[in-house]
Amino acid sequence: MNAPPRDYSIHGTTAGKIFTIIGASSNLMFAFNTGMVPEIQATLRQPAVENMLKALYFQFTIGVVPMYAIIFIGYWAYGASASTYLLSNVSGPVWVKAAANISAFLQSVIALHIFASPAYEYMDTKFKITGGAFELKSLTFRIVARGGYLVISSTVSALLPFLGDFESLTGALSTFPLTFILASHMYLVAKKSSLSSLQQSWLWLNVVFFSCMSIAATVAAIRLIVVDSKKYHVFADV
């Protein structure tokens, strides 16, 4: 559990740094993932829109504090050579690291269920699963289908040691378009007659800029995957 020597320099070529920064932007968008809130609005207490806004306000005020605190404090404490999974570099009592890992695991289980809720809804609709949650047919299907989905997802995550690169690709292909491009364009189409020229220009700027960012981030993420796949083997982090 020894921490690596502190090294705050940023390694790599200029091109590599640029691609990494662009890829990190889509990874950051994927981490915030505000587009997930409308997808799970059916599970929110009414009024759904008001509660979605409360969640967004909380996320971008109080919620960003621990996220950025971990980033900057972790960089200060361990430098640029720290592991992607920061707890791999933590030194100190074993029980502290064990408690931190258990907490991270429990949080990931909850987060995975939230992210998987659209897939759960699709499977329930596809196979016409109705009735109470504790009816034998419904309960059996959900245990098998949802449990299988979680097992497959977890296996794929463990299989790919550079999962962060795939998160960048996911953010580039889904989070950027859903959160910024599609939302801005839909609002523009729906409210066009009541929007001022300045508001329309701002929305079109969002559409064009984030379309370019989505394309650039996709290229950067694919490059990161290709480069990292040459250095790692499957299940390297297990």
Question: Looking at per-residue confidence, does 171 or 157 come out higher?
Answer: 171
Structural domain count of the chain: 1
Q: State yes or no: cis peptide before 66, omega within 30 of 0.
A: no
123 within some domain: no
150 domain-assigned: no
Give the model's pLDDT for residue 2.
53
Cα angle 31, 33, 34; round to 5: 140
Does the residue 192 lie in any domain?
Answer: yes
Global pTM?
A: 0.71
Non-local CB neighbours of 131 within 8 Å, separated by 6+ positions? 137, 138
Percent of the chain with pLDDT over 90: 13
* 191 in a structural domain: yes
Q: What is the 3-state secondary structure (H, E, C) of 96-111?
A: HHHHHHHHHHHHHHHH
Question: What is the distance in angstroms between the CA of the first residue and the CA of the last residue of the chain?
Answer: 16
Are residues 142 and 129 in contact, defined by beta-carbon separation less than 8 angstroms?
yes
Tell whether 167 is covered by a domain. Answer: yes
Residue 41 has pLDDT above 80, yes or no: no
Distance CA 105, CA 235 (A): 18
Residue 138 included in any domain: no
Residue 63 structural domain: 14-91+160-229
Q: What is the pLDDT, as a whole number, of residue 1?
A: 45
Considering the domain boundaries, does residue 3 fall inside one?
A: no
Residue 103 vs residue 235, higher pLDDT: 103
Reported confidence tier of residue 219, pLDDT bands at 50, 70, 90: very high
- What average pLDDT does range 57-84 have in this prediction? 81
Confidence of residue 93 (pLDDT cuts 50, 70, 90): confident
Which tokens go with 69?
A: 């605190």
| Confidence band of 236 (pLDDT split at 50, 70, 90) | low
211: confidence class by pLDDT, cuts 50, 70, 90:
very high
What's the CA gap between 82 and 197, in Å, rounded?
A: 48
Q: Is position 132 within any domain? A: no
- Residue 1 structure tokens: 């559990």
Least confident of 153-167, 187-201, 217-231: 153-167
